[in-house]
Amino acid sequence: MGTGRGIADITPLTLLDFPNKVACIFWLGGCNLFCQYCYNVSLVKNAVPGTGGRTDYLNFLRDRVGFLDGVVLSGGECTLCPDLIPICREIRQLGFAIKIDTNGTRPSVVKSLVEEGLCDYIALDYKAPAEQYGAVTGRPGLFPFFSRTLDYLIASKIPFEVRTTVHPDLLTEDHVNTIIRDLTKRGYEGNYFVQNFYQTTQTLNSLPTPDRPFDRSRVDSSSLPVQFRNFDLGNGRN
């Protein structure tokens, strides 16, 4: 479904991606990271140009007032979209709750969304510890921007979660424990989600199946509530 304004596609219904909400997902094109395990290859490599198609997604939502509770804005990296804030305003005017999925590398955009009251929940991807960030994302210089977003969200008290996708050849149990220690030190008190990567025929770096499974028993959950996603399925979404 071509929708314009950076919205590459729409998932009409999800019961899993927005806590306690019946929602849809707007997928926005373009990303500033190159996570090796990412399966959204077309979204990452192809930003959707132009500002047309405004009525497409608005009409989609108008038809679902009273049925859907919320809209998830994902990607790619949705905070790269120059129309993100106007889109959120229009979604809000129709009465929908808004969730943002973000890698946190554009703290000023996240701050604007929060301060204008344009999002109700944020999922923040903690891709890797600082020393491993470049190996996972291809963009080592962006970790300080993510760090600022994380500190801002902790201070803001907006409902949000932190999540990490693990491919054991890239992130070990020790790396995850480093993230847990960092979150605890910063004062994060929410749930930390460790997600198994999604094995598909195409990822950004054509990653093979990992040499070994991720050992959940080695993750230290003594200081922070840790929840695991998608491991029982054998692989999972990033």
What's the token pair of residue 105? Answer: 């590398």
Domains present along the chain, CATH in parentheses: 7-233 (3.20.20.70)
**At 131, is the pLDDT very low, low, confident or very high (cuts 50, 70, 90)?**
very high
Q: Is 173 helix (H, G, I), strand (E, B) or coil?
A: helix
Tokens of 93: 């005017």
Give the count of beta carbons closer than 10 Å to the beta carbon of residue 52.
11
**H runs (alpha helix) in 25-142:** 41-45, 54-62, 84-93, 107-115, 130-137
Q: Which amino acid, 167?
A: H
Question: Which of 32-46, 96-110, 204-218, 219-233 is predicted with the least confidence, judged by mean pLDDT?
Answer: 32-46
Amino acid at 234: G
- Euclidean distance between the first and the last CA atom of the chain, given in angstroms as a whole number: 22
What mean pLDDT comes out for the span 59-77? 95
Note the pLDDT tens digit of each residue in 173-198. Answer: 999 999 999 999 999 999 999 999 87
Q: Phi and psi dihedrals of 206, rounded to 5?
A: 50, 50
